[in-house]
Amino acid sequence: MGSSERKSVLILEDEVDLRELLRAQFAAEGWSVLTDLSFSGIRRLLSEASLVIMDWKIPGLDSNEIYRMCRRVRPCVVISGDPDCPVPGTLIKPFRMGELIAACFDAVERSRAGDEFFEGNQVESKSNPGWGVGVVLDIFGDECWVQFASRDVSTEPLRVPKTLLKRV
């Protein structure tokens, strides 16, 4: 993940051995590594992270809430031992470290290229330019809930595939 700028990764993993393996691997790749498993700690560290790696099931935390909070502001890669994890693109344990590094690199690059969307981003529809500029209200998987404003008339939020949106 070679770049001269220092990146930081927030690792949310309750399995100590895996968390330490991820810490060592990303530190060796030149990343600053942050970890915490408390809701307040995650909120605090999220502003310092360039990327989040999160286990889908962490005891005592609401995975949906943590995922949505992280995805609002940072690229997020989800890992899980649960093959029924609802997040598209989840890496199922056990995975190869190369797969995780590739997924992280891809998430960061999509974010830099403007192909990654976060809550609050202004977007336009590629297929319906008449909708005007909209604001991303929520994200889940490959879709965004977007509030478009056409002239002076507001519309109901629409669920739009990310592939049909571009950031403004």
Mean pLDDT over 109-128 rounds to: 77
Question: The pTM is what?
Answer: 0.72
Euclidean distance between the first and the last CA atom of the chain, given in angstroms as a whole number: 27
CA 116, 56, 8, 107 torsion-angle sign: negative
Domain co-membership, 146 together with 80: no
Q: Is residue 96 part of a domain?
A: yes
Q: Is the pLDDT of residue 3 over 70?
A: no
Residues 6 or more apart whose Cβ sits within 8 Å of residue 14:
37, 55, 58, 59
% of the chain exceeding 90 in pLDDT: 47
Q: Is residue 1 part of a domain?
A: no
Q: Of the candidates 95, 113, 131, which is a domain's last residue?
A: 113
CB 145 within 8 A of CB 138: yes
By CB atoms closer than 10 A (0-12, 13-18, 19+), residue 88 is exposed
Q: Is the pLDDT of residue 8 over 50?
A: yes
Mean pLDDT over 88-107 rounds to: 91
Domain containing 24 equals: 7-113
Domain co-membership, 73 together with 43: yes
> For the segment 27-41, what is each residue's pLDDT rounded down to a tens digit?
998 999 999 999 999
Domain co-membership, 31 together with 85: yes
Q: How many helices (H) and strands (E) does the chain have?
A: 4, 11
> For the segment 52-70, what is each residue's pLDDT rounded down to a tens digit?
999 999 999 999 899 888 8
